């Protein structure tokens, strides 16, 4: 199973500006792949840490509710699944991209066996996942919820899945990007990623503030002698929209944290089931 994280509209490849021009120039021989497929799985796994207060917020609320955690869209596990195991917890992950899971498995194999034995990885779409047990905490970090809005009812179906997997007294912790973000596209950024075997030049550019509330980032890289592009779309929410859906699904918010960095605004919530 693999992801694409592309638009549903086959006419729209999600590329803008110079990225679109270069891709359409056939002489460039650029391959378009999903944001969480090879080689961009390596890019994700090598950039970005935690924003201020993020890791502490998750740890505190998980500890208050137990030690059995389910991470939805767990990716390469670097930010949450692996550290949670090191903190002595049981951590299961659900992830649609085999390429992200491959990186997570590599990290798991480097842990002591006892820690490895407290993790299970499921290569599944969150929407199709049926949990065989109940979790003290279900987490969905890295504003991944913004990837789950391709259909109108995407978020309420997602919250339904969370309820299915969560213990009655459990906690659900997740964050989301808020919008609208005004302003035009950012300038392209260039970085160099160092993986175990490669050095990958990466150029990326964000195209924020689209009127329909979607934010797009285009990526370019070179890997093993070939050129690749990917486009990642995230829905920007108003806090009200998400909170209304959360409450309609029977959750009650118990804590929140806001983070602003540059043009990016994030809200992090912890919620429990009412009553």
Ligand X SMILES: C[S@@+](CC[C@H](N)C(=O)[O-])C[C@H]1O[C@@H](n2cnc3c(N)ncnc32)[C@H](O)[C@@H]1O
Residue ranges binding ligand X (CB under 6 A): 3, 36, 71, 73-75, 79-80, 94-97, 100, 125-127, 141-142, 144, 147
Is residue 163 within 8 Å of residue 252, measured between CB atoms? no
Shortest distance (Å) from residue 102 CB to ligand X: 11
Of all helices (H) and strands (E), which one includes residue 265? strand 264-273
The structure tokens listed for 21 are: 């021009």
Q: Which is nearer to ligand X, 4 or 13 (CB)?
A: 4
Contact 130, 69 (CB under 8 A): no
CB of 26 to ligand X, least distance (A): 29
Looking at beta carbons only, is 65 or 233 nearer to ligand X?
Answer: 233
Would residue 46 be called left, alpha or beta, if left means φ above 0 and alpha means ψ between -120 and 50 degrees?
alpha
Q: How far is the CB of 270 from ligand X (least distance, A)?
A: 16
Nearer to ligand X, 123 or 210 (CB): 123
What minimum distance in Å lies between the beta carbon of 22 and ligand X? 25
Write the burial class of residue 224 (CB in 10 Å: 0-12 exposed, 13-18 middle, 19+ buried).
exposed
- 65 closest CA partner among 135, 132, 154, 142: 135
Quote the strand ranges of the chain, DSSP E: 30-32, 68-72, 90-94, 119-122, 135-140, 166-177, 189-194, 199-207, 214-223, 226-235, 251-261, 264-273
- Which C-beta is closer to ligand X: that of 7 or that of 22? 7
Nearest distance from residue 178's CB to ligand X, in Å? 16
* Residue 90 φ then ψ, to 5°: -95, 130
> Closest separation between CB of residue 103 and ligand X, Å?
9
Of 22 and 32, CB closest to ligand X: 32
Report the phi/psi class of residue 92: left, alpha or beta, with left for phi > 0 and alpha for psi in -120 to 50: beta
The residue among 20 and 157 lying less far from ligand X, judged by its C-beta, is: 157
């Amino acid at each position: 199973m693999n992801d694409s994280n592309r638009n549903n509209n086959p006419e729209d490849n999600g590329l803008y500006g110079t990225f679109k021009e270069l891709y359409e120039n056939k002489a460039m021989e650029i391959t378009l792949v999903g944001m969480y497929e090879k080689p961009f799985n390596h890019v994700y796994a090598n950039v970005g840490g935690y924003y201020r207060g993020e890791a502490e917020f998750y740890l505190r609320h998980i500890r208050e509710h137990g030690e059995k955690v389910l991470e939805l869209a767990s990716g390469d596990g670097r930010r949450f699944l692996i550290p949670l195991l090191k903190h002595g917890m049981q951590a299961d992950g659900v992830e649609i991209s085999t390429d992200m899971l491959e990186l997570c498995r590599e990290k798991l194999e480097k842990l002591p066996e006892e820690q490895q034995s407290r993790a299970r990885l499921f290569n599944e779409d969150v929407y199709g996942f049926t949990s065989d047990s109940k979790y003290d905490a279900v987490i969905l970090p890295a504003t991944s919820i913004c990837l789950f809005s391709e259909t109108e009812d995407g978020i309420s179906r997602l919250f339904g899945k969370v309820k299915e997997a969560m213990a009655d007294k459990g906690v659900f912790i997740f964050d989301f990007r808020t919008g609208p973000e005004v302003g035009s596209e950012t300038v392209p950024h260039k970085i160099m990623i160092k993986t175990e075997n490669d050095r990958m030049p990466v150029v990326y550019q964000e195209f924020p503030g689209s009127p329909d509330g979607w934010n797009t980032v285009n990526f370019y890289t070179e890997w093993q002698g070939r050129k690749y592009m990917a486009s990642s779309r995230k829905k920007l929410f108003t806090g009200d929209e998400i909170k209304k859906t959360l409450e309609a699904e029977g959750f009650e918010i118990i804590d929140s944290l806001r983070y602003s960095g540059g043009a990016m605004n994030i809200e992090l919530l912890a919620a429990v089931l009412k009553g």
